[in-house]
Chains A and B, each alone.
Chain A
Amino acid sequence: MFCGPLARTGRGRLAAGLLVLGLLGAGGSPQPAAAASRPTAAADSVPRLAPDRTAALRLRRPQPDRLRELRQQRDFQYVEVKSELSAWDLFWARFWRWVAEALETPSGRVAWEYGVYVFLVLALGFAALKLMQVDLTRAFGRAPRRAALNYDTETEDLHALDLETQLTEAEQQRNYRLAVRLGYLSVLRQLSDKGLIRWQPDKTNHDYLYELPTGPLPEAFRELTRQFEYVWYGEQDDLTAEDYERVRTTRQAFQRRLVPTRHAA
């Protein structure tokens, strides 16, 4: 079959003849030297079969049903399925593509270069404000963060109260306990007005006692304080008119003592 095209020319015929001879010399006939070295008896004992040149090749084809079945199995599907992107992923993909495109423009490159520094400055400023415990929520017009338990610390403005009127009313109503309290508050205001004590809402009566200058005032104020505490903190609601009169006398005596102090000052 392969000699066909070459055998058409004279040179081709010669080449084909040499090739046939070569093939016959290489494998077609037994080597004389090798044959001579083999024992003759052994060579005769091996039966030789003539090559079956007539046998035709039979192709085995798989069953179409079986092929179809195998094709449907997942293990034999070698094509990767592309995952579908969600709308959110698509949004971010587009966003980042847009950012990348924007940064590639000349103005974008400038913004990127200086934007990093601006961000760093802002971050440092925020950290500094946090360390200084500055309430940043006010800057944005929001109400400041409040505690779960908001105990307001409103104070009673001693100097804004009309103590004299309230005291007269309490005496007229025979509410002697309240009258003792108002009388004591009027003494505190008087002391504060004269600069003998420094009025502060968190101070106790004994704090004021130890603020008074040495002399007769501390002892008199101590007595007044005892009476006030006994009546007010001791919840003496059943105070008699005689009891109250005793307290009032002590208070008025103390207040009279304050008058020379003013003149002396």
Chain B
Amino acid sequence: MENNSSSTPADFPEATSPAEMPVAPESGNAATGFAPRTDLSHLSRHAEAIRQELGKVIVGQQALAELLLTALLADGHVLLEGVPGVAKTLTAKLLARTLSVPFSRLQFTPDLMPSDVLGTSVFRPNKAEFEFRPGPIFASIVLIDEINRAPAKTQSALFEVMEERQVTQDGTRYPMPAPFIVLATQNPVEQEGTYRLPEAQLDRFLFKLNVGYPTVEEEVAILQGHHAGFGGTPLDAVRAVVSAEDLQKLREQVRRQHVEPKLLEYIARLVGQTRAHKGLYLGASPRASLALLNGAKALAALRGRDFVTPEDVQYLAPMVLRHRIQLTPEREMEGGTPDDVVKQILQQIEVPR
């Protein structure tokens, strides 16, 4: 479990500040009077459909939904952190339900073994040979609940599958289905029976999202919804609106987003500054630069643009960097958080324009 987690504020209450508010699609290319070069209407339609399905059950949390969609389009894994009862697991399950792809859920426990996750080879006496029985990781959307309750041995089993989208067992490689996304949840307040995730694994998550408490108005809406009843379990209210093939096409579109060369330099400077910052003893890796780039491209597409702006990069920087950097003990004792350092770094680098 990460020490700074409990002091880290949620991403979403302050996401209502003007700069972080999602920009409506019509404010993109069409509004400038120029003909858009890329037709993003298909992507916007699918994104809106997913948002609407999630909105049937989840009250508020629009920014969380947008970031989950961003990760979905950027082909990245997401680590959701929040206190118990803020709908982390429910949100992940609902997102999986909006996609018509195989879904699997894993409850991580201290006695979980790597073979319980990846699968194991069993001997078939009739064929006199070993046969690989795939584990629950073989699904398109894998929800790992309470990921920090499994020890490092089990965590390390996820390294290959999360990065290379394959499992190697007995010398044979088993590719994962496309898409393959890990949505993991963890609880920041409990110390008993939890393990800190290895840095190598944290680096494999595109975003770490801090899920906070709802506002009073949102909580009233939650109560009203439950009081009225969903007509069954909350999951029944949500239906699949995007297929695996659709998602692949949307991802292709995201990959073709325009990124001005100065913005690439801006991303490299931001990430590079984490390696030179005095308050950090571990900076972010080049994988973080790639994550920031891919995330910014997906976010820009979701906001109706076929190009990335510095706002996209700045908005995603805390989510991409906070779990990839390590504070020095001095900074930690001063009460600093990774988000503070990221904010400081953002203030040090000139926005390209």
Closest to B274 in A: A149
Q: How many A-B residue pairs have CB under 8 A?
A: 88
Q: B350 near A153 (CB under 8 angstroms)?
A: yes
Q: Are A243 and B34 in contact (CB under 8 A)?
A: yes
| B33, chain A: closest CB distance, angstroms | 6
Q: Which of B278, B308, B330 contacts A233 (CB 8 A)?
A: B308
Q: Flag whether A252 is at the interface (Cβ < 8 A).
A: no
Collect the chain A residues with CB atoms within 8 Å of residue B260's CB.
Answer: 232-235
A37: B residues at CB distance < 8 A? none
| B34/A230 in contact, CB under 8 A | yes
Q: Which of A203, A207, A226, A233 has the most CB of B within 10 A?
A: A233
B276 touches A201 (CB 8 A): no
Q: Is B27 an interface residue (CB 8 A)?
A: yes
Asked if B353 is an interface residue, CB under 8 A from chain A, the answer is yes
Whether A246 touches B33, Cβ cut-off 8 Å, given contacts A147-B276, A230-B307, A233-B309, is yes
C-alpha spacing A185/B32, complex, angstroms: 18
- The 8 Å CB contact of A148, one of B275, B330, B348, is B275
B276, A202: Cβ atoms closer than 8 Å: no
**Which residues of chain A are near B272, meaning CB under 8 Å?**
149, 151
* Smallest beta-carbon distance B15→chain A, Å: 14
Which B residues are CB-close (under 8 A) to A232?
Answer: 260, 353
Q: CB of B258 within 8 A of chain A?
A: yes
Question: Do B31 and A226 have beta carbons less than 8 Å apart?
Answer: yes
The listed residue (B306, B346, B347, B351) touching A234 by CB distance below 8 A is B306
* Least Cβ–Cβ distance between A191 and chain B, in angstroms: 14
Q: Given A230-B29, A233-B308, A246-B33, do A151 and B276 touch, yes or no (CB 8 Å)?
A: yes
Q: Are A202 and B347 in contact (CB under 8 A)?
A: yes
Distance (Å) between the CB of A46 and the closest chain B CB?
91
**Cα-based distance from A205 to B330 in the complex (angstroms):** 35
B275 touches A147 (CB 8 A): yes
Verify if A105 is at the interface (C-beta below 8 Å from B): no
A226-251, CB < 8 A from B: 226-236, 243, 246
Contact (A210, B19) CB under 8 Å given A230-B32, A236-B34? yes
Q: Tell me, rounded to whole Å, the shortest Cβ–Cβ distance linking A44 to chain B.
A: 98
Q: Most B CB atoms within 10 A — which of A150, A205, A231?
A: A205
Q: In the complex, are the beta carbons of A203 and B351 less than 8 A apart?
A: yes
Q: Select A206's contact among B19, B37, B258, B273, beta carbons within 8 Å.
A: B19
Q: For the complex, is A189 an interface residue (Cβ under 8 Å from B)?
A: no
Does B311 touch A at the CB level, under 8 Å? Answer: yes
B residues within 8 A CB of A185? Answer: 353
Contacts known (A149-B276, A151-B269, A243-B34); A229 close to B350, Cβ less than 8 A: no
Q: Is there contact, CB below 8 Å, between B347 and A181? A: no
A160 to B36, CA, bound (A): 35
In which size bucket is the chain A interface?
35 or more
Complex: chain A residue closest to B33, CB-CB: A246
User: What residues of B have a CB within 8 angstroms of the CB of A151 in the complex?
Assistant: 268-269, 272-273, 276, 349
User: Which residues of the partner chain A approach B349 to less than 8 Å between Cβ atoms?
Assistant: 151, 153, 202
**Is B263 part of the binding interface, using a Cβ–Cβ cutoff of 8 Å?**
yes
B194 within 8 A of A: no
A54 to B276, CA, bound (A): 106
Within the complex, the shortest CB–CB distance from B30 to chain A, in Å, comes to 10
**A156 → B minimal CB distance (Å):** 7
- In the complex, the answer to whether B350 meets A156 with C-beta atoms within 8 Å is yes
Chain B residues in 8 Å Cβ range of A209? 18
Asked if A221 is at the interface of the complex by the 8 Å CB criterion, the answer is no
User: Cβ of A235 and Cβ of B351 under 8 Å apart?
Assistant: no
Most chain A beta carbons < 10 A, residue from B32, B37, B269, B308: B32
A150–B33 CB distance below 8 A: no
Q: How far is the CB of A165 from chain B (nearest CB, A)?
A: 19
Q: Which of B273, B306, B309 has most chain A Cβ within 10 Å?
A: B309
Distance (Å) between the CB of A40 and the closest chain B CB?
A: 100
Residues of A within 8 A of B347 (CB): 202
Per-position binary interface string of chain A over residues 115-159, scored 1 when its CB falls under 8 Å from any chain B CB and 0 otherwise: 000000000000000000100000000000001111101111000
Contact B311 A150 (CB under 8 A): no
Contacting pair B34 A233 (CB below 8 A): no
Query: Which residues of B (6-31) have their CB < 8 Å from a CB of A?
Result: 18-19, 27, 29, 31
Instruction: Please give, as numbers and ranges, the residues of chain B lying within 8 Å of A181 by CB-CB distance.
Output: 353
Q: Which residue of A lies closest to B314 (CB)?
A: A204
Cross-chain pairs A/B with CB under 8 angstroms, 5 sampled: A133-B278, A151-B268, A230-B29, A233-B260, A246-B33
A133-B330, A228-B353, A235-B258 known; 11 new pairs, CB 8 Å cut-off, are A147-B275, A147-B276, A148-B276, A151-B268, A151-B349, A154-B350, A181-B353, A202-B346, A202-B350, A233-B260, A243-B34
Interface set of B (CB-CB < 8 Å, partner A): 18-19, 27, 29, 31-34, 37, 258, 260, 263, 268-269, 272-273, 275-276, 278, 305-311, 314, 330, 346-351, 353
Leading 10 A-B pairs by shortest Cβ distance = A147-B276, A234-B307, A201-B350, A230-B32, A151-B272, A210-B18, A233-B307, A202-B347, A155-B350, A151-B269
